[in-house]
Amino acid sequence: MKYHVIYDGNCNLCVSLVKLLEKLDRGVTFDYVSMQEQETLKEFGVTSQDCEMGMILIDAEHPQRRWQGSDAAEEIGRLLPIGNIFVTAYRSMPGMKWLGDRTYAQVRDHRYSLFGKRNSTYYSTYPVGCGIDRDCQTQDSQV
């Protein structure tokens, strides 16, 4: 299965997490599109207003299946090898989901002041539509 991760390509924290996912997954499960790529987002019916609510995860085979914000982060964690163990433990602890949701919202709303804003948008090495089984010309990823 393939999933599209929509992230803020101008956010230092977001880009660091995407780079970590790229190293762990190598484009097998996830591909990526930054929130700054409005034309690509239109293909998924995602607006800039949608992006204001945080990262988005879309099931490529069933695009109506979507997760956003802390739910997207949890689902990404669940899809990683052995990640389901940690997500299940997290979800089973009373109050953790509530705390996680509130923490995510605070970080989302203050990400630039907390972690800084990049001078240029980061474009993933594994853009939407490309995978290890498909040779794609990609935009140069900016570090």
| Burial environment of residue 137 by CB neighbours within 10 A (0 to 12, 13 to 18, 19 or more) | exposed
* Element housing 56 (H / E): strand 56-59
Look at residue 99 in the predicted model and tell me its pLDDT: 96
Residue 139 has pLDDT above 60, yes or no: no
3-state secondary structure of 134: strand
pTM above 0.75, yes or no: yes
User: Do residues 127 and 33 make contact, with C-beta atoms less than 8 angstroms apart?
Assistant: yes
Give the tens place of pLDDT for each residue, 75-130: 999 999 889 899 999 999 999 999 999 999 999 999 999 999 999 999 999 999 76
Residue 12 has pLDDT above 80, yes or no: yes
- State what percent of residues in the chain have pLDDT above 90: 85
Q: How far is CA 44 from the centre of its chain?
A: 14
Cα–Cα distances in angstroms (integers) from residue 65 to residues 3, 59, 95, in the given order:
10, 6, 26
Residue 141 has pLDDT above 70, yes or no: no
| Confidence category of residue 131, pLDDT binned at 50, 70, 90 | low
Tell me what the pLDDT averaged over the chain comes to. 90
With both helix axes pointing from N to C terminus, report the angle between 83-92 and 70-79 in degrees, rounded to the nearest 10: 140
User: Which segments of the chain does DSSP mark as H helices, in order?
Assistant: 12-25, 38-43, 48-51, 70-79, 83-92, 96-115
Give the tens place of pLDDT for each residue, 31-82: 999 999 999 999 999 999 999 999 999 999 999 999 999 999 999 999 998 8
